[in-house]
Structure 1
Amino acid sequence: MTKRAWWLVVLNILLPGSAQVLAGSRGLGRFGLRASVAFLLLLAAAGVMYKVNPELVLSVFTNSIGLWALAAVLVFYSLLWVTLTFDTLRLSRLVRIRPNARPHIAGLATVVMVALAGTSGYGAYVATTASGVLSTMFITAPSEPPADGRYNILVMGGDSGSDRAGMRPDSMSVVSIDADTGQAVIIGLPRDLDLIPFPEDSPLHAAYPDGYGYEDRCDVDACMLNSIYTEVDQKSPEMYPDAVAEGSEPGIEGMRDAARGITGLTIQYYALIDMQGFSDLIDALGGVDINVAERLPIGGRFEDLSDVEGWVEAGQQHMDGFTALWYGRSRHTTDDYDRMARQRVLQQAILTQFTPANVLTKFQGIAAAGQQVVKTDIPQGALGYFTNLAGKTKALPMATVELVPDNGVDPTDPDYDYIRGLIAAALVPAAE
């Protein structure tokens, strides 16, 4: 009877339902076997399909309906494994086996049951939570086609700290991604760029035909790139009457038109990152590792260090969200171009830590933070494609074009033909 009990428990682990077929509960056993075989076939089919067409599989798992279906399947199998395990222990007749074997047999069955049912239950939780997060963060709309074989995404870091009135984009870049290879080029846009040209189809072109800030013409205090968001958002939102209905904002659309005019690229999508929420995301990830080039104050403004709360020391540092935010924001003894460089380092460090294992083990905190961090008009239906493309991007070196004086760009008197030439030169080798 002891050997029989061991065999039943092991068979239940290897092929749930087989123990019932052998020991008498044949109706339940046949149901369990069919379900177990179906589960294995589903896994095999998903694996083969991912090898053949990963985009299709990722599309299913980034779609609300697909995620809820996955959750239902996982809950079903979780309940099935619990039922079959308890029935296997009943069929094992523990009271008739050797007393010293009972805890080992019952313990093995219980541990495996908890592992399988717990894993599938947690998977169902992740699937349903992810469905809610994705529905909140991404819009329902048709996908945009690539332009000249590339997707160009305007990425803005909006700083809405307690010492600031409203949000303004202090960090701006265009991420240009080859639609086939995933090769990416980050184009850094300094916030103090002047004389911004707008495409002729932009409503801002009619208001500023000679460029934003030409002869100091603008409707806010400072006529530079990141002022466009504030001006359109607060002074002339009627320029973009359909922005909100299309998952955007008038200020964002003004910035998109500015990025189009500066780079000469079609900007299909945008992503606005709330830097305060970014701090929560870093905390949810467990912090971020950065090699700090020079000592930076936490707090303080330029030479005024009266309100400094601490320091980010030089060298390898493991930072929490608050410290990382100040690493990207600090201005003491540095300029905007140094900040741009530090923000790129911070972005790269976070992307490196966004591994599947890290996300799954800290999913609850990341999901909660994610809903507060990103606003974008990337449609949910395109997530499968972009997730697959992001995997390619992460495996390749990423080029950077910073529009700064070190690259021959004078932000106060920029030569936009020269700027577009720099960008074109960076994109051509990436596309080959």
Structure 2
Amino acid sequence: MRGRALSRPTGPAAPLRDPPVGDPRFMTRRAAWLVVLHLLVPGSAQVLAGSRRVGRFALGLWLLGWAALVAAAVLWFALPQLLLSLPTNAIGLTAIQLLLVALVVGWILLTIDTVRLLRLVRIAPTGRAVLGGLLAIALVVGVGGAGWGAWAAGVARSTLGGTFANARFDLPADGRYNILLLGGDAGKGRSGLRPDSISVVSLNALTGDMVTFGLPRDTDPVPFAEGSPMRQLYPDGYGAHGRCNVDVCQLNSIYTEAQLKEQQRYPDAVKNHSSAGIEATREAVEGALGITIQYYLLVDMTAFEPLVDAMGGVTVTVKERLPVGGHIVDGRLTGVKVWIEKGRRHLDGNKALWFARSRYGSALGDYDRMARQRQLEEAMLHQMNPLTLLTRFDRLAKAGSNAVQTDLPQGLLGVIAGAAVKSRSQTVQNVEFVKPRYVPTKPDYTVIRRVVQDALR
């Protein structure tokens, strides 16, 4: 008798661990406390009423999780590049997936053990239904949320593996990564894909300071950078003296010529996740702007439409009435059945594509189109919110992998993404080398390069 009395629990937790099972009201209150503790501080119910070893282990993991969240919040504001390196590479995503699977298993086991500790048969029928229902909802929400996260991590890993290369790492030039952005348009009657939109994003790898440079597709002539294989063919610049090997001598024709007729000059391009056309265009833009371009990103405009549809459309301000389709006959636009009207408009994928590519309806032609493309890019970035990612993740991942071609390595995505996050809180400089200040058919590259350096400083 004396030994049993000594082993009996004492202190505030005694009624929870060794309750009067014959009192339904007390048992109901006890069960409610245990459910609340389980939901708010997983493991605490076990510490007070069950296996202390299991409870302390669960509590330790819970506290570790909160510490990780606090550290992540600090990193998000201080150094997002480091934080985003985890979910932007295959190893990090695999670790996240395994952690979430372990979380699902642990939550299920902990909830089942909490149900055992409640002693449901001893509590009032109403309390039994309410508390049992709460635990069931918590189980479904917890398992469903963590399960979705594990599935999304798997989809992201597959998408990254199919889109981004395990390629070379280039160091930033003067602290900046310069990325060539090409908007490709493989329309009917064209020999392959042609980059109709050509720009460079210059991103400070540490501060997120961002500058974009836009070059019109009809820039002519264009000098190639030192060491370019195409410079041997065009020492005075592509299009100088009317020289080129395709029907039109201008900046975006370089892609076509190199891709169709100069493949042998770039034997390692495919191995390096690029192409002869992309490499020649990169070297031409380097020569024009006077900067080193480490990576490229090409968006296929024919695959751009499903990407916009996957995110539920995009809202932009249309400054001028634009046609969807149509063609010019005797100097007049014909065959247009649908128009994008002026004002604030929510566009589906097809209309967003025509908003970005239409060259009609504006006296500025290509230059107005370049401005609309920038506007669309910014609108898509700002409207990509967490709810959209949660509800449309698989469609966005699939559409994005089909729309994008790049030589950016997976291991560098965290740095680029983190710097891009920082840039959202800063003013982005947009420098467009277009009329009336610049004449694309008579480019002054001394002025252009000086403007580039001034903008980067």
Alignment TM-score > 0.5, same fold: yes
Structure-2 separation of matches of 1:185 and 1:262: 16
- Post-superposition offset of 1:305: 4.1
SS at match of 1:145: coil
- Secondary structure of the residue that 1:157 maps to in structure 2? strand
Partner of 1:122: 148
In structure 2, the CA distance between the partners of 1:53 and 1:200, relative to structure 1 (3 Å rule), is closer
Match of 1:308 in 2: 336
Q: Cα gap change, 1:176/1:41 in structure 2, threshold over 3 Å: closer, same or farther?
A: closer
> 1:296 matched to which residue of 2?
322
* Map of 1:320 onto structure 2: 348
Contact map agreement 2:205 2:415 (CA 8 A) in 1: no
Matches within 5 A, 1:246-261: 246-261=272-287
Is 1:105–2:131 an aligned residue pair? yes
**CA distance in 1 between partners of 2:441 and 2:82 (Å):** 47
What is the rounded CA distance, in whole Å, between the counterparts of 2:174 and 2:97 in structure 1? 39
**Corresponding residue for 2:158?**
132
Cα RMSD for the two superposed structures = 2.0
CA distance in structure 1 between the partners assigned to 2:81 and 2:360 by the alignment = 46
**Deviation of residue 309 (structure 1)?**
3.5
Match of residue 64, structure 1, among 81, 90, 95: 90
Aligned to 1:421: 450
**Structure 1 equivalent of residue 11 of structure 2:** none
The number of residue pairs the alignment matches comes to 427
Query: Partner residue of 1:239?
Result: 265
Give the distance between the partners of 2:227 and 2:149, measured in 1 at CA: 47
Quote the offset at 1:34 in angstroms: 4.5
Work out the CA distance in 2 between the residues paired with 1:263 and 1:345. Answer: 23
Paired with 1:52 and 1:416, the residues of 2 have a C-alpha distance of: 38
TM-score normalised over the length of structure 2: 0.88
1:191 and 2:202 aligned: no
Does residue 391 in structure 1 map to residue 430 in structure 2?
no
Which string of whole-angstrom CA distances, capped at 9 and with x for unpartnered residues, describes residues 321-366 of structure 1? 1100001111223311111111111111112113344333421111
What percent of counterpart residues are identical? 50
Q: 1:301 touches 1:331 (CA, 8 Å); kept in 2? A: no
Residue of structure 1 equivalent to 2:407: 377
Aligned to 1:8: 34
TM superposition shift of 1:27: 6.0
Maintained 8 Å contact 2:46/2:114: yes
Alignment of 1:148-227 (within 5 A): 148-162=174-188, 164-227=190-253
Q: Is the counterpart of residue 93 in structure 1 residue 119 in structure 2?
A: yes
Q: Which moved more, 1:274-283 or 1:299-308?
A: 299-308
Q: Deviations over 1:244-293 (max 9, x none)?
A: 11111111000001001110111111110111222111111111111101
Q: Give distance in 2, aligned partners of 1:41 and 1:200.
A: 51
SS of residue paired to 1:206: helix
Larger deviation, residues 248-257 vs 163-172: 163-172
The whole-number CA distance in structure 2 between the counterparts of 1:290 and 1:283 is 15
TM-score scaled by length of structure 1: 0.93
**Offset at residue 22 of structure 1 (A):** 3.6
Tell me by how many angstroms 1:307 deviates: 2.9
Q: 1:306 to 1:145 in 2, by over 3 A?
A: same
Q: Deviations over 1:108-158 (max 9, x none)?
A: 112222222221111111211111111221111332112233221110000
Distance 1:326 1:55 in 2: 35
Structure 1 unaligned spans of 5+: none
Letter of the 1:101 counterpart: G
SS of 1:185's partner is strand
Q: Residue 168 of structure 2 corresponds to which residue in structure 1?
A: 142
Ranges in structure 2 where 5+ consecutive residues have no aligned partner: 1-26
Deviation at 1:64, TM superposition (A): 0.7
- Alignment of structure 1 residues 28-107 onto 2, 5 Å: 28-29=54-55, 31-47=57-73, 53-107=79-133
Q: Does structure 2 conserve the Cα–Cα contact (< 8 Å) formed by 1:152 and 1:174?
A: yes
Q: Could you tell me how far apart the structure 2 residues matched to 1:175 and 1:263 are?
A: 12
The correspondence of residues 331-342 of structure 1 with structure 2, limited to 5 A, is: 331-334=359-362, 335-342=365-372
Aligned partner letter, 1:118 = G
* 2:436 aligned with 1:410: no
Q: Is the 8 A contact 1:300 1:332 kept in 2?
A: no
Corresponding position of 1:262: 288
Query: Is 1:157–1:273's contact at 8 Å kept on the other side of the alignment?
Result: yes
Q: Please identify the structure whose Cα radius of gyration is greater.
A: 2
* 1:276 counterpart SS class: helix
CA change 1:395–1:37 in 2 (3 A) is closer
Post-superposition offset of 1:96: 2.5
Residues 37/417 of structure 1: CA separation in 2 closer, same or farther (3 Å cut): closer
The answer to whether the 8 Å contact 1:301/1:332 transfers is no
Find the counterpart in structure 2 of residue 368 from structure 1: 398
Rounded to whole Å, the distance in 2 between the matches of 1:330 and 1:118 is 44
Contact residue 203 and residue 420 of structure 2 kept, 8 A: no
